[in-house]
Amino acid sequence: MSEHVAPLIVVLPLATAYSILLFCPKYWRYAQRASLICTGLLVVLTCILAMQVNVRGSVIYHFGNWSPPWGIEFLIDRISAFFLVMVSAISFVVILFANGLLYKEIKERVLGQYYALFLILLASLLGIASSNDLFNVFVFLEISSVSAAALVAVNGNKLALEASVKYLVLSTLGSGSLLLAIANIYMVTGYLNLTFIAEALPQAYALYPLNVLATLGLFVVGLTVKSALYPMHIWLPDAHGSAPTSSSAVLSALVVKVYIIVFLKLIFRVFTLEFVSQVPLQFVLLLMSALAILLGSLLAIRQTDIKKMLAYSTVAQIGYIFMGVGLLTYNGLLGAVLHILNHAIMKAMLFLSAGLLIKLTGKRDIRSLAGVGRIYPLPMIAFSLGSLAMVGIPPLNGFISKWYLSLGALEAGLPIYVLVILVSSFLNGLYYLPIVISAFFGQSTEPTYKPLPIPIGASIALICLCIATIFFGLFSGIPTQYLDPALENWFQL
């Protein structure tokens, strides 16, 4: 039984999603419970997988017993297992939150379908992280972009629809270039399985250097469009800013990250460090990520809509992660992978608390949040904790990833990027802290009123995320030690 856990993590959410569509599209309360149970089970299953990986090394599963290169293979290494646990835990928390609030945000008619879409997106994210077959990854990528665009548009309001069209068109452009890259790599190596491609690539490069370089370029373009690295970020603020709260949280925290996981697999397992350091990829990635960090933060300062501001902050944070990858050093990459986790926790918390405040006060404008912290302490405390973690105040988790990124920059001999991190921390403080200060100490212009009750699920979700923020700040050794063997293997230390 235990060897079938790997496919089960994709099958379970898909089966639940289609059962919801079949049996209870109208009775959304059942859909709520079903998705909560499903994500809860997923957390357990992914934890079991992570333990298996920890004890016995990478978990490999061949579908229908067809061994690769013919069959499709799931290969879950430490990085994927880490990501799988993160995805299922965050989506469990988001579903918990959504159960308390979502029925006030979107039409009752589509609630059941919303949960089904959410689970389909979840299945595709888990599939992308675990699959070892490039074409399989491509199909999961397309499922994820369609369901993510649908999760943005689900509200049916004008802004969300427009953002969704923009998102869909640009992400199709990204997947087009990915498919072209896959075609190229299949042409020169004859394989679609990542392990086999990695073996055949040196010989293929000797014969067709131009094709291999073009493939690398197309992969970089496709994956950076989909994960919204700076010049290709234009779809992100609209989509993440106009979606319902739980969608924005999961889009910002998880969906943009999964493409980075694919990128890591390609760069370090397929193309290998040796090859990548010969081509000018490092320069391009570092330049784009430095621009993303600085301009994303500057654009966030200009926003007055709180969710738009958080979305621009995501653009900056994606810059951090790509910078860690681009440094091509052990500590830099460790910082990047840790930041994937830490940013997921922080951004989920920020989006959820901001969405809750918007729902409770009816206002989206940053300036109108003065004095809110005294009326609704819990969401504002969560927001403040997230802000402080974003700035990188030491006992919180944001500090840890920035610390490793800075170490990585020094290791790579590029101290200028430490400066970029410092400046951007300052900029983060510039747009997060005024909200916090005015929410707790500012004078509200409106007369005091009786606060609305906060849904119990939403409170529990926010408290869980607050605890996670502090926990991963204090005990950063847990993820670091778990990831260490995989990274050492990539860098051949």
Partner 1 sequence: MFDFVRLADNAFYGMAIILFLTGFWIMLSHANLIKKIIGMNIMESAIFLFFVAIGYIKGGSAPILGREGVTYINPLPSALILTGIVVSVSVTAFALALVVKLYQHYGTVNVDEITQIRRGEA
Residues that bind partner 1 (CB under 8 A): 135, 138-139, 142, 145-146, 149-150, 153, 156, 158, 161-162, 164-165, 168-169, 172-173, 176, 179-180, 183, 186-187
Dist. CA 234–CA 244, nearest whole Å: 19
Task: Count how many residues are written for the chain.
Answer: 493
Q: How far is the CB of 306 from partner 1 (least distance, A)?
A: 17
Q: Decide whether 155 or 428 has the Cβ nearer to partner 1.
A: 155
Q: How far is the CB of 94 from partner 1 (least distance, A)?
A: 23
Q: Backbone phi, then psi, for 304, in 5-degree steps?
A: -110, -20
Q: How far is the CB of 480 from partner 1 (least distance, A)?
A: 38
Which among 171, 172, 266, 178 has a CA at the least distance from the CA of 222? 178
Q: How far is the CB of 159 from partner 1 (least distance, A)?
A: 8
Q: Decide whether 135 or 491 has the Cβ nearer to partner 1.
A: 135
Q: Decide whether 222 or 326 has the Cβ nearer to partner 1.
A: 222
Dist. CA 344–CA 229, nearest whole Å: 16
Q: Decide whether 70 or 283 has the Cβ nearer to partner 1.
A: 70
Q: Decide whether 149 or 264 has the Cβ nearer to partner 1.
A: 149
Q: Decide whether 53 or 168 has the Cβ nearer to partner 1.
A: 168
The answer to whether the Cα torsion of 111, 116, 120, 122 is positive or negative is positive
Q: How far is the CB of 187 from partner 1 (least distance, A)?
A: 5
Which among 331, 463, 471 has a CA at the least distance from the CA of 404? 331
Is the distance from CB of 242 to CB of 152 less than 8 angstroms? yes
Q: How far is CA 441 from the centre of its chain?
A: 33
Cβ neighbours around 69 below 10 Å, total: 16
Q: Decide whether 138 or 472 has the Cβ nearer to partner 1.
A: 138
Decide: helix, strand or coil at residue 74. Answer: strand
Q: How far is the CB of 113 from partner 1 (least distance, A)?
A: 13
Which among 444, 447, 462 has a CA at the least distance from the CA of 351? 462
Dist. CA 393–CA 291, nearest whole Å: 23
Is the distance from CB of 149 to CB of 171 less than 8 angstroms? yes
Q: Decide whether 69 or 434 has the Cβ nearer to partner 1.
A: 69
Q: How far is the CB of 327 from partner 1 (least distance, A)?
A: 32
Q: How far is the CB of 192 from partner 1 (least distance, A)?
A: 8
Decide: helix, strand or coil at residue 75. Answer: strand
Q: Decide whether 146 or 378 has the Cβ nearer to partner 1.
A: 146
Cβ neighbours around 9 below 10 Å, total: 25
Q: How far is the CB of 145 from partner 1 (least distance, A)?
A: 8
Q: Decide whether 218 or 409 has the Cβ nearer to partner 1.
A: 218
Decide: helix, strand or coil at residue 59. Answer: strand
Decide: helix, strand or coil at residue 369. Answer: helix
Q: How far is the CB of 226 from partner 1 (least distance, A)?
A: 14
Cβ-proximal residues to 469 (8 Å cutoff; 6+ apart), any chain: 345, 346, 349, 385, 386, 389, 396, 397
Exposed / middle / buried, residue 109 (Cβ in 10 Å: 0-12, 13-18, 19+) = exposed
Q: How far is CA 84 from the centre of its chain?
A: 11
Structure tokens at 313: 């902050």
Q: Decide whether 255 or 352 has the Cβ nearer to partner 1.
A: 255
Residue 370: CA count within 13 A, CB half-sphere: 9
Dist. CA 435–CA 438, nearest whole Å: 5
Q: How far is the CB of 218 from partner 1 (least distance, A)?
A: 10
What 8-state DSSP symbol labels residue 73?
Answer: E
Structure tokens at 100: 């308390």
Q: Decide whether 177 or 331 has the Cβ nearer to partner 1.
A: 177
Q: How far is the CB of 242 from partner 1 (least distance, A)?
A: 12
